[in-house]
Amino acid sequence: MILGFAESAHQAQALAAELGLAHASVDLHRFPDGESRLILPQTADRHVWLYRSLDYPNDKLVELLLTARGLRGAGVERLSLIAPYLCYMRQDMAFHAGEVVSQRVIGAFLAELFDDVISVDPHLHRISELAQAIPARHAVSLSAAELFGRYLANEKDALLLGPDEESAQWVSAIARVSGLDYAVASKLRSGDKAVTIQLPAVAVAGRRIILVDDVASTGHTLAAITRQLLAAGAIEVSALVTHALFAGDALEVLRQAGVSRIGSSDSIPHAVNVVRLAPLLARAVREMKLVEKCG
């Protein structure tokens, strides 16, 4: 069974349909004081796949705890979390004395609750594998690069541009599938909304540019690079991201900067979703089920 929550019911149902599995939703109510009441569907399944992206995560993490403990108490033997967007991955080391390394803490929390965790383009910097952050039985990191490459296959003569060195591997993978040229800028961040961008040594005048990134939160990085590209003569700048967090006025920030089109995967339900992750996730689930049978 695929078990989901109301905010991503469409995505969970699409995944269940891809796999030919039943779908059900957690009945969730939040009281005025912020506490959550959950009612779980009755199931005889011994293996349940729980679908939930972890944007705006604090309430969701408590509700995962309640759901997981409730399912275990009802006799479920194996729990697998499908979290297309994973929270708290950026804080992977202490930058100041006393700073909590949240990636390590949340990773251990999820590994305690779930046997398996599947995510898409998690925000990993100084580690190479998701298992280093989440020591579960299986921790699987998928890439949406192939899906984005197919989405861009009909684009002609556009330049793919990553905002920083960390995006190079991802941008190059999209370029291989789409057949488009690519380049990578460099970024220096001095605050949540303060970034300095250095454009790559490649001609952008007269070209259409597609900015690609794994996460867009405040939008200020993409806005800063858009203004520089337009000033350098680019005729159009659009943006494509895996995870459309778009906190606060992020969309307005991007549009005011001159971004003409904005697209994302459906890891987080949003009006700008243009790429469905269900086929990618379904393939990973099938492969994990094969591993389970072989084991």
Q: What is the largest CA-CA distance in the chain?
A: 62
Mean residue pLDDT across the chain: 92
Choose among 96, 116, 92, 95: nearest CA to 106: 92
Note whether 281 and 15 are within 8 A (CB): yes
Mean pLDDT of 172-189: 90
Judge whether residue 132 has pLDDT over 90: yes
Beta-carbon neighbour count of residue 202 at 10 Å?
13
Residues 4 and 22: their CA atoms lie apart, in Å, by 11
Tokens of 151: 């989405």
2-143+277-294 architecture in CATH? 3-Layer(aba) Sandwich (3.40)
CB 117 within 8 A of CB 150: no
CATH 3.90.550.10 fits 145-275, yes or no: no
Count of Cβ atoms closer than 10 Å to residue 196 Cβ: 11
- 290 band by pLDDT with thresholds 50, 70 and 90: low
pLDDT-above-70 percentage for the chain: 95
What is the number of alpha carbons within 13 Å of residue 26 lying toward its C-beta?
A: 25
The CA distance from 149 to 134, in Å, is: 28
- The beta-strand segments (E) located in the chain are 2-4, 23-25, 27-30, 36-39, 47-51, 78-82, 116-120, 138-142, 159-162, 181-184, 186-189, 195-198, 208-216, 236-244, 259-265, 273-275
The per-residue pLDDT for 189 is 62
What pLDDT score does 162 carry?
A: 93
Give yes or no on whether 2-143+277-294 and 145-275 have one common fold: yes
The predicted structure's pLDDT at residue 167: 83
User: What's the pLDDT score for residue 135?
Assistant: 96
Domain ranges of the chain: 2-143+277-294, 145-275
Q: How would you classify residue 89: left for phi > 0, otherwise alpha for psi between -120 and 50, otherwise beta?
A: alpha
**For residue 23, is pLDDT > 70?**
yes
Task: Report H helices in 154-219.
Answer: 168-178
**Residue 294 pLDDT exceeds 60:** no
Q: Which of left, alpha, beta for 246 (phi over 0: left; psi -120 to 50: alpha)?
A: left
The mean-pLDDT minimum among 172-176, 204-208, 251-255, 285-289 falls in 285-289
Sign of CA dihedral 5, 243, 86, 225: negative
Confidence of residue 139 (pLDDT cuts 50, 70, 90): very high
For residues 123 and 265, the model is more confident at: 265
Distances (CA, A) of 124 to 7, 8, 103, 164, 205: 25, 24, 9, 14, 33
- Return d(Cα 18, Cα 41) in angstroms, integer: 21
Query: What is the pLDDT averaged over residues 232-259?
Result: 95
Q: Is the pTM of this model over 0.95?
A: no
Q: What is the pLDDT of residue 91?
A: 81
Residues 52-70, mean pLDDT to the nearest whole number: 97
